[in-house]
Amino acid sequence: MIARRTFAALLAFCAITAVVVPRTFAQDKSIVVASTTSTQDSGLFEYLLPLFKKKTGITVKVIAQGTGQALDTGRRGDADVVFVHAKAQEEKFLSEGQGVKRFPVMYNDFVLIGPNSDPAGIKGMKDVAKAFKVLHDKKQSFISRGDRSGTHSAELRLWKAAGIDIAKDHGPWYKAIGQGMGAALNTAQASNSYVLSDRGTWIHFKNKSDLQILVAGDRRMFNQYGVMLVNPAKHPNVKKELGQQFIDYLVSPKGQKDIANYTINGQQLFYPDASDPSA
Amino acid sequence: MNTDLSALQLVLSADPALIAIVKLSLLVSLTAVLLAALIGVPLGALIALTRFPGREAVIVTLNALMGLPPVVAGLAVFLALSRSGPLGSWGLLFTPQAMVIAQAILVAPIIAALSRQTVEDLWVEYRDELAAMNVAAAARVMTLIWDARFSLVTALLAGFGRAAAEVGAIIIVGGNIDGFTRTMTTAIALETSKGDLPLAIGLGLVLIAIVILINALAWGARRAGERYAG
């Protein structure tokens, strides 16, 4: 009988848990931001969001995805704000009426990473398109994100600039892994491959081993971030006031200063440029 | 070596963020197992004790669903709970509740299939006795569940193992939001993508230790229960 009573007590405990649990989960004054793996993997949000919360009391819940997927999350109405980095895709999002207005926030740049030994011999090249051409011609192992992310879009632009139709013209040396930036860097590290990365994720990445930056500084490697409120006219559940407060903070002098102040080992990761309307 | 130490330090210093992650993992997985048990145990027992056309097909399907890929279950729950999906108005996507639903869907077939087998084996022993007593079907189900309770713990543990270990479903429906839907497994996935492999392994060891602890507790409870009952 004791066992039966224990069993009943256990059931009661479970039932209470089931009732109490949802309440513990409840949180007020929060927004969902669909953003990119680069803003999360670079550590920017860990630094920025507590500052924003202190100022406004708003909790920001970040879903880190590739830019294409993050915009899709916005299209379904599952996010209040999208914060991504592929201007062409962002403008398409706006033209579909999915976003209210795009605000440029900050930039950094893409860097071409490869093993120290640099079997392709591209180190220090100033022309990134030429470097991509060499990788292609020498069939060097290359890791592509392959996930419609901002970095993937940039990589496809660079192949095009090199005069290569990578969708048709690639062999087993070109590996599209369909995963985030960190996973792509891990794969490159483990297989002595070349890979395109945003600088923020690269600086924050801890498993560099014998990978290093080989090509950087070409104007075509510019990486612009923009932020948009998901259109409440299309998705009535969007928290437009709270979402707009987040956007206003990012482009405000205070938010821009906070972004500029985020550094790792003295290296600045992102450069604010909300004041440049053409960005 | 530094990072190896930092994982250990996190554990030893009872880092509040880590504790919150562990708590959420347990809360989500245990709630999912509870939900799945409330559905799976009676369902399994019912299938064990009744005969109906297509019963074999139901059993095979149930057994096959034990191998339901988490990412598929996650995607299905995601599409249902998305604001553009049929249950979008509930506003549950990217919440711990959504993670509980997804894991319950993964775990319920395991508990149901194992309960079915356990109860059916017991039924073979009891059949004549219960038939002679002319007990109604519902009462038969309850009696056999009660008598099989210690063996059914194994079914629950198998379900818990599945829930605690999976990452594919909860990362889709939970979104791995810092401080809100980040669990042990999604944190491990994130640290791996940041390239902090020692911390990821450290978190993995913590997860394994917790799962062992839960199993030890269940084992102890079962032994104690059997002693009292016996």
Enumerate the β-bridge partners of residue B191: none
Tell me whether the CATH fold assigned to A30-108+223-272 matches the one assigned to A109-221. Answer: yes
Q: Which residue of A has its CA nearest to B230?
A: A3
* Confidence (pLDDT) at B34: 97
Please report, in angstroms and rounded to a whole number, the separation of the first and last CA atoms in chain A.
Answer: 74
Dihedrals phi, psi of A64, to nearest 5 degrees = -95, 115
Yes or no: domain B15-229 corresponds to CATH 1.10.630.10:
no
Query: What average pLDDT does range A112-128 have in this prediction?
Result: 97
What is the predicted pLDDT for the residue at A16?
Answer: 55
Is the CB of B228 less than 8 angstroms away from the CB of A180?
no
Contact B94 A32 (CB under 8 A): yes
CB distance A258 to A272 below 8 Å: no
Nearest-by-Cβ selection for B177 from A22, A63, A76:
A63
Please name the residue of chain A whose CA is at the shortest distance from the CA of residue B227.
A3
Please report the pLDDT score of residue A12 as a whole number.
Answer: 57
Ranges of beta strands (E only) in A128-221 are: 142-144, 174-176, 194-198, 211-215
Inter-chain touch A22–B229, beta carbons under 8 Å: no
Domain ranges of chain A: 30-108+223-272, 109-221
Check if the interface score ipTM surpasses 0.90: no
Q: Are A104 and A267 in contact (CB under 8 A)?
A: no
The answer to whether the Cβ–Cβ distance between B3 and A237 falls below 8 Å is: no
**Cβ B83–A32 below 8 Å, yes or no?**
no
Give the chain B residue nearest A64 (alpha carbons). B175
Domain A109-221 in CATH: superfamily?
Periplasmic binding protein-like II (3.40.190.10)
Calculate how close chain B gets to A65, using CA atoms only, in Å. Answer: 9
Per-residue pLDDT at A18 exceeds 60: no
pLDDT of residue B1: 39
B82, A78: Cβ pair inside 8 Å? yes
- Whether pLDDT at A17 is above 80: no
Q: pLDDT tens digits for A193-205?
A: 999 999 999 999 9
- DSSP characters over B133-167: TT--HHHHHHHHHHHTHHHHHHHHHHHHHHHHH--
Whole-angstrom distance, CA of residue B144 vs CA of residue B142: 6
Residues of A in contact with B100 (CB under 8 A): 21
pLDDT in tens, B91-117: 999 999 999 999 999 999 999 999 999
pLDDT range class, residue A143, cuts 50, 70, 90: very high
Which CATH architecture is the domain A30-108+223-272 placed in?
3-Layer(aba) Sandwich (3.40)
Mutation target for B interface from A41, A78, A186, A204: give the one with most B CBs within 10 A.
Answer: A78
Closest CB from B85, B91, B180 relative to A61: B180
Token readout for A154 is: 């940039």
Q: Is residue B153 packed enough to be buried (19+ CB in 10 Å), middle (13-18) or exposed (0-12)?
A: middle
